[in-house]
Structure 1
Amino acid sequence: MMSIGWRSLGFLIIILLLAACSASQGGGPEAELNASANQADEQATPSPTPSLKAPPASKWDDRTLYAQNLNPSGQQFLDALPQASVYHIWLTIPENMTEMLTGSLEVRYINHETVPLEEVYFRLFPNYAGGQLTVQNVLLDGQPAASTLESDQTSLRVALEEPLNPADAVVISMDYQLQLPETMGGNYGLLGYFENILVLDTFYPMIPAYDQGSWYAHRPYQNGDLTANDASFYLVEVRAPAELVLAASGSVVDESINDGMQTLTIAAGPARDFYLAGSPSFSVLSEEWNGIQVNSYALEGYQTHQRYALQDAIQALETFSDLFGPYPYRELDLLSSPMMALGIEYPGIFGILYELYEEGGFTYGVPNQAMLETVVVHEVGHQWFYNVVGNNQQSEPWVDEALTQFITQQYFVERYGDGAGSALETNWEDRWAQVENEDIPLGLTADKYEGREYSAIIYGRGPIFYRQLEADLGRDVLLEGLRGYYQQHQWQVATTEGVRQALEKACGCDLGGWFSGWVYALE
């Protein structure tokens, strides 16, 4: 189960309590993006009637609720990210999943760039993933605002009446409706209601990262993950049928049941995004490690591998905490779900392909129990590299994926001794061999890889790059560099140069030749 906090308080009461607290503002992280937002569909979103009132600015900076989701090591960042966006999201899930999911959101956005902004973009990723996300009643500080759909309705441009200067804030609110796809579509089938399991990947309008004069507002590339977000804070109220067992990013701080509907208030952050899943058929196994509650969700009848997954996650938490630094949250959830991938990561939670829970089965010729451990470890590793240390997964997918592939192998070495990661190394080599070991650079944008190249280079050649560095620099030096990279870039958006600089600091050497030969795009 999720951690339970103030049971007697409702979401709106919590908002009112926060309004009594004072605010402070400062600097925030930036992303390195190369996006274009000039594909306008020119369909203005009407906002005739305000449905949400702009809240007092003073409430946005109280981080008390979020502390309940953070370990002491994570709580130090509550006041270190004063310019992070703060979302308040309301979501109602109907009993019949073929009906519309409805909700509202309000977000306080602070311009932490060095130039004034004339607009703020929101991504509507369900419109890419086979669903339909529509918005109404867009407000700026409580007043109707003009908005335009772009990039095949995957982006919403909200025009600002006056340029938003650096360090200035605006509160944007809107209502939204979400129609789930009926079949698995784009983005690996991560949004929908399949096999009696509800999965809500990027279900709400979200603000993407901005840098170098552009927003990430283009239509997402087919390869790679969708999001490229700054770290934010989320306070989410979910109304859902009482029989739905829910798992989400963050921790539950309030809950109630009335007339067959449950209402949960969830606090999450800092986090790259917010994820929610549920099923009336979920069972939950839980265990605590080092003050962290680990919850394993699976359908009835899969308890054996459900417990294996739980133990694998705990061992990965221990290994990566020792190698790089403490896991920031007090909770980690994992769940089995249908998808067109082996696993998918979100802040404080991740999904695993549910076929891996079948006892005695094989996936790609590998016994399910062995494959399950590998996938669980990989997704736990993403809590360090994707969530805490962010990166642009569209323009530099290698930064988190190749590294997480490599540290998955390091987990096996740590747990089982030298040679234990050889099967993974063989897998890397087999992947790269699919493109005949071509020296295709690691640092390309996701759209530049064709056919098998994305898997072969990002998941094959990428970790081989780290293995070769390990052979040259020594394991201790390489791990020192990766630990420094993690510590330096927590809750920021890192780039290829951040990786290189951290490794060069650890080895006291120039790795320009390595990066030119493996990573940088050829001129």
Structure 2
Amino acid sequence: MIKVRLNKRFTAFTIVFLILALSVFAAKYQMIEKVTSVYSGVRIPTGKNINEYDINAQLDPVEKILTATQKVRYVNNSNRSFNAIYFHLYPNAFKLEQTVPFEKGEMELAYPGGFEEGNITISSVKKNNEVLTHLVIGKGETILKVNLGKLLESGEAIELEMEYTVKIPPSYGRFGYGENTISIANWYPIAAVFDHKGWNLEPYYAIGDPFYSDVANYRVSMALPPEYTLATTGNITKKENKEGNIVWTMDAKAVRDFAMITSDQFKMLEDKVDGINIFSYYFEDEYADIALDTAVDSIKIFSESFGKYPYDQFSVAAADFFIGGMEYPNLVFIDEGLYREERKDILEYVIAHEAAHQWWYGIIGNDEVNEPWLDEALTEYSTLLYYEKKYGKEVKDQIYKNMIVRYYDAYRDNEPNGNEAVYRSINKFKDSIEYQVMVYYKGAMFVEDLRNQLGDEQFFKVLKVYFDKYKFKNADTEGFIKICEQVTNKELRGNFKEWLRYNKE
């Protein structure tokens, strides 16, 4: 995610310096540099050790109520036995103003018509038609605990059936509806990650992207009135008329989440790059081509720089979304207010940033609650690489200086005693401004310093090896450090400690 409306001061600063940087150089560079990729092939993982979701849903776009049945095949890939499985129920964070994932200063932007609740209600959980007891727990009732009745041993799988309804709130965020769109993200019960820390049951925090998940296979059907168009994770494999609705069927393999956005106003442009279908969903004819071209160029540049994009499609969707941009597998939401003459440069930046997230967090996952720097710093720096490969190094350097370094310096001048730690959990940041400055900007400055120390050959080799080792898995800071040191044969832990305040040995 990238915020471009943290406050008026941030927005004005970002727009001014990004436009200045681009306007001087954009016309000068047109060709995308060619980058030779060491790892040209990326296979979608197969096998029976991956979770599977089969969801049949229907949306009432008038009442904003979604009803669904969900089958989950959960695989215990740990070395422990479980008597219960935990799922995140993110929609319940929208029940109360006290638990919604927005800061106080964002509430008027998030709810321009005033607060109304959203939620998810679990009707039943079964195994082979046998009712299982379940509890809704945690802050904001955002955790579902399913008691299995007997132990699920290491290596075993279990199939669960769930029925639930989802009430979508009038929120201009990841999950909600506005004047033009209905955003259906973080909407279904998704299995919590079990790792060396145990079950990860963090609440839906207001700062950052508080998500952490394993890749899974999805088959999702969504019934909508015929005037609605759906942009979605995965491939649309079927559309059929059924009882006055169009039933859209999607298939997605090895993705970290599943999101959709729908509108009865969507128009669409499409293109193709390296066999990948690129879609741009929009409302206005003007600047829709910028969104499409940026998506095409981003997928090409990042595939060549890090490792091939492994999926068949990538979609950019304009949305009633005040935050700026948000990434999901194969799909990104973009604030429709950016599709304007005075903001078209920001539009390009935000789309490139969210496209980079397809690699950092999408294909390679990480704990975005406790180690948010790992995907956001790499993504922010990848956005700079997009400009370097497309427009030239001079453009990249100008944006880096005027947008990254200058804003970081301005923040430090105003907060001389501020916390300089980049490596920390999102709930340890005092607000989104501090989070963005440290995680995005200082994080990107660290990556730039790392590149300067290693040189381009070793730097890009590190990113390619990192991608190759952790694709479709969850990485952590320790893993990234080990890759850096193994590839370069250098002791780099001190750099992480100095820049990030990373003190683990």
Query: What TM-score, normalized to structure 2?
Result: 0.83
Displacement of 1:252: 1.3
The residue correspondences of 1:107-506 to structure 2 (distance < 5 A) are 107-129=72-94, 130-151=117-138, 152-184=140-172, 189-299=173-283, 302-358=284-340, 360-361=341-342, 368-421=343-396, 422-433=398-409, 434-436=411-413, 440-451=420-431, 452-506=433-487
Q: How far apart, in 2, do the equivalents of 1:101 and 1:244 lie?
A: 15
Secondary structure in structure 1 of the residue aligned to 2:80: coil
Displacement of 1:73: 4.1
Give the number of the structure with larger relative contact order, counting CA–CA contacts within 8 Å between residues 6 or more apart: 2
Displacement of 1:441: 2.1
Q: How far apart, in 2, do the equivalents of 1:194 and 1:475 lie?
A: 45
Residue 94 (structure 1) aligned with residue 69 (structure 2): no
Displacement of 1:475: 2.2
Residue pair 2:496, 2:502 contacting (<8 A) in 1 also: no
- Identity level (%): 27
Residue 84 (structure 1) aligned with residue 50 (structure 2): yes
Q: How far apart, in 1, do the equivalents of 2:171 and 2:184 lie?
A: 14
Residue pair 2:177, 2:320 contacting (<8 A) in 1 also: no
Secondary structure in structure 2 of the residue aligned to 1:170: strand
Residue pair 2:266, 2:281 contacting (<8 A) in 1 also: yes
Displacement of 1:318: 1.0
Q: How far apart, in 2, do the equivalents of 1:312 and 1:83 lie?
A: 36
Q: How far apart, in 1, do the equivalents of 2:407 and 2:160 lie?
A: 45
Q: How far apart, in 1, do the equivalents of 2:256 and 2:203 lie?
A: 19
Residue pair 1:232, 1:270 contacting (<8 A) in 2 also: yes
Residue pair 1:439, 1:518 contacting (<8 A) in 2 also: no
Unaligned residue ranges in structure 1 (runs of 5+): 1-71, 362-367
Q: How far apart, in 2, do the equivalents of 1:202 and 1:444 lie?
A: 24
Secondary structure in structure 1 of the residue aligned to 2:309: coil
CA RMSD of the aligned region, Å? 1.7
Q: Which residue pairs with 2:109 in the alignment?
A: none
Displacement of 1:212: 2.1
Offset from partner CA, 1:420-464 (integer Å, 9 cap, x none): 112134222234231447562222111111123211100110000
Q: How far apart, in 2, do the equivalents of 1:321 and 1:522 lie?
A: 33
Q: How far apart, in 2, do the equivalents of 1:257 and 1:288 lie?
A: 28
Q: How far apart, in 1, do the equivalents of 2:129 and 2:407 lie?
A: 52
Displacement of 1:512: 1.4
Secondary structure in structure 1 of the residue aligned to 2:408: helix
Residue pair 1:132, 1:178 contacting (<8 A) in 2 also: yes
Residue pair 1:121, 1:208 contacting (<8 A) in 2 also: yes
Residue pair 2:57, 2:68 contacting (<8 A) in 1 also: yes
Offset from partner CA, 1:207-233 (integer Å, 9 cap, x none): 121112521213233211132100000
Residue pair 1:345, 1:383 contacting (<8 A) in 2 also: yes
Q: How far apart, in 2, do the equivalents of 1:270 and 1:148 lie?
A: 28
Displacement of 1:157: 0.5
Letter in 2 for 1:418: K
Residue pair 1:192, 1:200 contacting (<8 A) in 2 also: yes
Q: How far apart, in 2, do the equivalents of 1:108 and 1:472 lie?
A: 46
Letter in 2 for 1:142: N
Q: Which residue pairs with 1:8 in the alignment?
A: none
Displacement of 1:182: 2.5
Offset from partner CA, 1:331-350 (integer Å, 9 cap, x none): 11111112131100010111
Unaligned residue ranges in structure 2 (runs of 5+): 1-39, 95-116
Letter in 1 for 2:400: L
Offset from partner CA, 1:11-39 (integer Å, 9 cap, x none): xxxxxxxxxxxxxxxxxxxxxxxxxxxxx
Secondary structure in structure 1 of the residue aligned to 2:400: helix
Offset from partner CA, 1:474-506 (integer Å, 9 cap, x none): 122111111111111000000001211121122
Q: How far apart, in 1, do the equivalents of 2:311 and 2:67 lie?
A: 29
Q: How far apart, in 2, do the equivalents of 1:426 and 1:141 lie?
A: 59
Q: How far apart, in 2, do the equivalents of 1:329 and 1:522 lie?
A: 37
Residue pair 1:390, 1:491 contacting (<8 A) in 2 also: yes
User: CA distance change for structure 1 residues 89 and 73 in 2, over 3 Å: closer, same or farther?
Assistant: farther
Q: How far apart, in 1, do the equivalents of 2:329 and 2:494 lie?
A: 35
The count of residues paired between Structure 1 and Structure 2 equals 436
Residue pair 1:208, 1:227 contacting (<8 A) in 2 also: no
Offset from partner CA, 1:287-317 (integer Å, 9 cap, x none): 1111111110011xx2221111100111111
Displacement of 1:179: 0.8
Residue pair 1:237, 1:265 contacting (<8 A) in 2 also: yes
Query: What TM-score, normalized to structure 1?
Result: 0.81
Match of 2:488 among 492, 507, 522: 507
Q: How far apart, in 2, do the equivalents of 1:172 and 1:507 lie?
A: 46
Q: How far apart, in 1, do the equivalents of 2:421 and 2:118 lie?
A: 34
Letter in 1 for 2:309: Y
Residue pair 1:430, 1:460 contacting (<8 A) in 2 also: no
